[in-house]
Every structure is written in C-alpha cells, then in structure tokens.
Amino acid sequence: MNALDLLDGCAAEQARPAADAQRPILRERGQREVFCGLTGIIWLHRKMQDAFFLVVGSRTCAHLLQSAAGVMIFAEPRFATAIMEERDLAGMVDAQDELDRVVNRLLERRPDIRTLFLVGSCPSEVIKLDLAKAAQRLGTVHMPRVRILNYSGSGIETTFTQGEDACLAALVPVMPALPADAPKELLIVGSLPDIVEDQFLRLFADLGIASVGVLPARNARDLPAVGPNTRYILAQPFLGDTAMALEGRGAKRIEALFPFGVEGTSDWLRAAAREFGVDPALTEQVIAPGRERARIALSKLRPQLEGKRITFLPDSQLEVPLARFLQNELGMELVEVGTPYLHRAHLARELESFGAQVRLSEGQHVERQLDRVRADRPDITVCGLGLANPLEMEGLTTKWAIELVFSPIHGFEQAADLAELFARPLRRRDLLEV
Ligand code: SF4
C-alpha cells in the first residue's frame, strides 16, 4: 500500500462535522482531475497590463499555456515558458545561469515589462531550482525598472484558481504601507474583468466611499497601499493565502456573501457600506436600480432552471457561492456541491442557506465522485473539461467549470448571464431530446 492508498482508505467516505456548523462534510482524497495553477495566467496577464509571466517549466507547461490561450497568439504575448530540460543536480548551476540569461534577454527586448513573475511548475528539475532566490538575485540586478516576484503554479500544489491566489499573495509583501493615521480605505480583492470592476467602483463612488483600491491593480506597478486601516472585501472565494497575507499586514476582512446574483451582490455592497458608515437609506437607493434590473432579468430565466437538479464536481472553488445563487434565486435543487478546498471562515455565510439534504464534499476522488453522479443522474453536472465528454457520452448534461472563471459573472448586470451559463446546456439537451 502506498501513501496515497493509505490516505485514500482513511479519509474518503468519512463524513465529519464542520467546526462552525454541524453539517457533515464528505472528505475525498484520491486522484484529481483539474487544471493546474498555471491556468490563472490566462486571465491574470490580461488584467495586469504591465506584468509578464515567465513559466519555468517543461514542454507540457508550454503546451498547456499555448492551447489554453490560443487566441492570444495574435496579440503581443505577456507570458512565455522557459523550458528546463532534464538535468541532474550537477547541472543545476547551469540551470540558474540559463534562467538569468533568459530573463536578461527578455527584459532587454521588452522594456514595457514592469513586473515579472517567475512561475514555478512541477517537473522535478524545476522543483530543485530555488525560484525565490532567483527572483531576489535578478530583482537586485534589474531594480528599480522591473520588480521580480515568484510563485508556484505547480499542479502538485495548486488547482487552477489557486494560481491567482498564489500570484496575489506574492504581491502583498510589496504593496506600499498605508500610514497608521490615514483614513480607512476599502480594498477589493480578486481579479475581475475591467467592465465588472468599473461597475463596482461606480457603485462605491455613489455610496460616497472615496478611497477604493483593487488587488490586482490593472498596472501591477500601481499597487494599492495596505495597513491596519485597510478593510478588504473578497470578490473571489479562492483567495485564502492572499487574505492571510493581507491580515499579516494588518488589514481586516469585511464579512459578506460573494457578489453573485441579486442576493450576493446586495449583501456584498451593503457589508462594505456598513463598514464605512454609509447611511442605510442611501445604500438602498444606490443599489436599487441594479438590483431591480437583475431581478427582472433572472425572473425570465427562472422557469428554465427551477426544480432542476445540479451537481458540482470540485474544480474552481466557486462552487459554494454559485450553488447558493442557483438554489436561492433560481430554485435549483442542489444534489452535491463538491469543492477542492472549503474555506470555512470565508464560506460560513454562504453555507447557511444549504439544506441538510445537500451533500457537501471537499477534495477529490474522481472515481467515487463519478459513481455518485451516475447514481444521482442530476439534470446538469458542473465539472472540468476532462470529465465533461465522458459524462456527455453517458447521456448526462454538463457545464465546463472553467467557463465560469473566464466569463464576467459578478454583480447585478451579469446575474442573468451567469444564470444563462447554466440554462444553455439544459436547452441544448432538450433540443437534442426533441
Ligand atoms: Fe503540467 Fe505541472 Fe506544467 Fe501544470 S505545472 S502544465 S501540471 S507539468
């Protein structure tokens, strides 16, 4: 029996009560079927327009990035892979030199790069390389023109949204300090499409919250300040390490639902407004038009989704708040909500509305989960790309989890688009059945 078998036998299938609620959680440990943290580069490089992501990896890593970001080939790319071929330990000194050469050449050719991320991956020759030291060494050489940071996107350590968490956590130590006597500032944490970010910034301006920072900033060089007077609000549920790093610098989290749908977005905005002492009447006045537009748009989609049974396989860490939205606002029935990692503190309020019949699972054992999907036969299963085709072949309707990360889905204006992402595969299924 190897270590994996042992873990597998001990931990899977055991339901244990969560510390914060008496809800049983099925813990799964086994084979995983998700993209690695390198995938986050696809949306992060669009967001941080003066940053460059240099993956230190293998041909597989280069291949993943090229195929996942196929459309970007026509644009001036802001990511690349430095391929580390197999080498023994004696060759590691050469590897460091080679990495230095690649970085120096890149920065010579691309004077527009202001922040360079060295992104680690899983091949053993990369694991042996100390990227933190390399970032420090190269950072000293290229200072102050370029800031050089590192994080890991390795599939051994990260699922695909954790790549963003690792990247943002790497930025926190270099954020400027907010002076102790500065007024309270709001910080939105999590990468959002620019259009959604602008909508939220407009709403916060209407609420009279004057000073609002965003992490990641569109220009990685314009990082917002952080300190004990920072109140941060998470826009994404997969940012545990970033939250911890911010708290290490004194920032305090604003507890709220995540801004999906009418309920989540209203709660998120109200929580921030309360923290900044905004008059509740003004808060309601500011959020009313968007809330009403979203409510009307969702009411048109509800008949297509109401009563439909849904299972989430663990993938993006968006599962819990999206399940809450689909259940509470569209009347869907949650069969199983699986997530790679359940952050109990960040998700406590999200879980409050889950009925006792909802099966909650954490971690992945792909075979067992697929068996449960086959037994449950939900109307729709949200899963990774690799599992979607086999399930469709078995007559089950699926939704690719990765689309939820690439699409604008936060906020009032996007609530109907989010619901539509689930309604479309069901419509397609109905048409095929006809
Ligand atoms: Fe594959 Fe690991 Fe490279 Fe990701 S980091 S593409 S899992 S080799």
**What is the three-class DSSP state of 152?**
strand
- β partners of residue 52: 116
Kindly give the number of the ligand 1 atom that is closest to the alpha carbon of 153.
5
First to last CA, the chain: 50
Rounded to 5°, angle at Cα 359 from 358 and 361: 140
Kindly give the number of the ligand 1 atom that is closest to the alpha carbon of 63.
6
Question: How close is the Cα of 53 to the center of ligand 1, in Å?
Answer: 15
Mean pLDDT of 159-182: 95
Give the pLDDT of residue 20: 47
Beta carbons within 8 Å of 273's beta carbon, 6+ residues apart:
207, 209, 280, 282, 283
- 155 in contact with ligand 1, CB cutoff 6 A: yes
DSSP code at position 340: S
Mean pLDDT for the chain? 90
Question: How close is the Cα of 402 to the center of ligand 1, in Å?
Answer: 17
Q: Global pTM?
A: 0.92
Query: Ligand 1, atom 6: nearest CA belongs to which residue?
Result: 61
- 154 in contact with ligand 1, CB cutoff 6 A: yes
Question: How close is the Cα of 61 to the center of ligand 1, in Å?
Answer: 5
Q: In whole angstroms, what is the distance from residue 283 CA to residue 287 CA? A: 6
Q: In whole angstroms, what is the distance from residue 331 CA to residue 430 CA? A: 19
Kindly give the number of the ligand 1 atom that is closest to the alpha carbon of 121.
5
Each residue's pLDDT tens digit, 64-83: 888 776 645 445 578 888 88
Question: How close is the Cα of 62 to the center of ligand 1, in Å?
Answer: 9
Task: Determine the residue of 53, 58, 83, 131 to mutate for testing ligand 1's pocket, defined as the one with the most ligand atoms within 8 A of the Cβ atom.
Answer: 58
Question: How close is the Cα of 152 to the center of ligand 1, in Å?
Answer: 11
Question: How close is the Cα of 89 to the center of ligand 1, in Å?
Answer: 21
Q: In whole angstroms, what is the distance from residue 214 CA to residue 201 CA? A: 9
Q: In whole angstroms, what is the distance from residue 326 CA to residue 418 CA? A: 9
Q: In whole angstroms, what is the distance from residue 214 CA to residue 277 CA? A: 20
Residue among 185, 203, 151, 199 nearest 44 (CA): 151
Which tokens in the block code for residue 312? 């989430």
- 81 in contact with ligand 1, CB cutoff 6 A: no
- 55 in contact with ligand 1, CB cutoff 6 A: no
Mean pLDDT of 147-154: 96
- 39 in contact with ligand 1, CB cutoff 6 A: no
Query: Ligand 1, atom 3: nearest CA belongs to which residue?
Result: 61
Question: How close is the Cα of 407 to the center of ligand 1, in Å?
Answer: 23
- 37 in contact with ligand 1, CB cutoff 6 A: no
Kindly give the number of the ligand 1 atom that is closest to the alpha carbon of 57.
3
Each residue's pLDDT tens digit, 354-397: 999 999 999 989 999 999 999 999 999 999 988 999 999 999 99
Label residue 183 by pLDDT band (50, 70, 90): very high
Mean pLDDT of 216-223: 90
Residues in the chain: 434
Query: Ligand 1, atom 7: nearest CA belongs to which residue?
Result: 155
Residue among 258, 240, 189, 253 nearest 342 (CA): 240
Stretch (H or E) spanning 126: helix 124-127
Give the pLDDT of residue 2: 28
- 60 in contact with ligand 1, CB cutoff 6 A: yes
Radius of gyration of the chain (CA): 22
Question: How close is the Cα of 155 to the center of ligand 1, in Å?
Answer: 5
Each residue's pLDDT tens digit, 309-359: 999 999 999 999 999 999 999 999 999 999 999 999 999 999 999 999 999
Q: Give helix 366-376 / helix 385-393 axis angle, nearest 10°.
A: 40
DSSP code at position 75: S
